[in-house]
Copies of this chain bind each other. A is one copy, B any other.
């Protein structure tokens, strides 16, 4: 079925039903030789930045488990990512559940090795703080554009008397460290009660484009997609999908659920709408399996990951890697 032998594929269904076999991402082979890959799927089992309900450390495993249901071709876009690029599971980044600073360093080093090998990363968290070391590893030349699906802006300055590295702060740090360009950043799905009425000041004043869930429904999906594409523009961009952007009925298994979010169908359509952007990496974060119900959140995350893979593979192939 594959383009050629070097393109990793899931096992043949006639020998191995989807419920069988080791649970890697999308039933792909485990690959340790980075030279054999264009795109790597990576778990980042770190939730040391969680200020609320913990458990995202268990996310990668359950996303892998539910991703067994994923097949090979996207029915809406026709993209067959495993034919466009060499895609494999490279396992989990090393972490440290006791020391968040050390964990960030370990994660960054792992993604730097991927970047050095020219491999495009698609990560599965972990809490949203894991996006920071990923960006540190790949945004080495200039700030990236960012499409962030999320209920929260995650641009708080600090918590708990000065903690600057939590899952509520990554994008403030990323702006400060010039990893992302606020003027090329769009945040979609923002909602949830606020600690104070000026909580979004950094994001808004810094030039980020915030689309609240109210504006999302007012504009409609097509206009939201157009706006996201306008903001991000032609330069290299990253996509970060926090599952709490989804309504809790699609993603109850998360640390900070907020009622009134968008649906998985709407998420699928929005990600498909990013096709053509110069995407250089992506992640899905904040799946907390201990709070999940029957794997519904992990299933959503696995499908989101597949949608992200399709547009990443398309972008990667266009850049000449495929």
Contacts and interface: CB of A to CB of B under 8 A. Distances in A.
Contact of A24 (B22, B78, B193, B249): B22
Interface string A288-303: 1011111110011001
B296 A72 contact: no
Interface string A67-82: 0011111111010100
Nearest to A48: B98
Interface in A241-272: 247-250, 252-253, 256-257, 259-261, 263-265, 268
B296 A71 contact: no
A42 to B, nearest CB: 11
Contacts of A116: none
Nearest to A73: B194
Interface residues of A, number: 99
Interface of A: 1, 13-24, 30, 43, 45, 47-55, 57-58, 60-61, 64-65, 69-76, 78, 80, 89, 91-92, 94-100, 102, 106, 159-161, 163, 165-166, 190-197, 199, 212-214, 217, 247-250, 252-253, 256-257, 259-261, 263-265, 268, 288, 290-296, 299-300, 303, 306
14 contacts: A17-B97, A17-B160, A20-B43, A22-B23, A72-B195, A73-B194, A76-B212, A78-B197, A96-B163, A98-B159, A98-B165, A248-B299, A252-B293, A291-B294
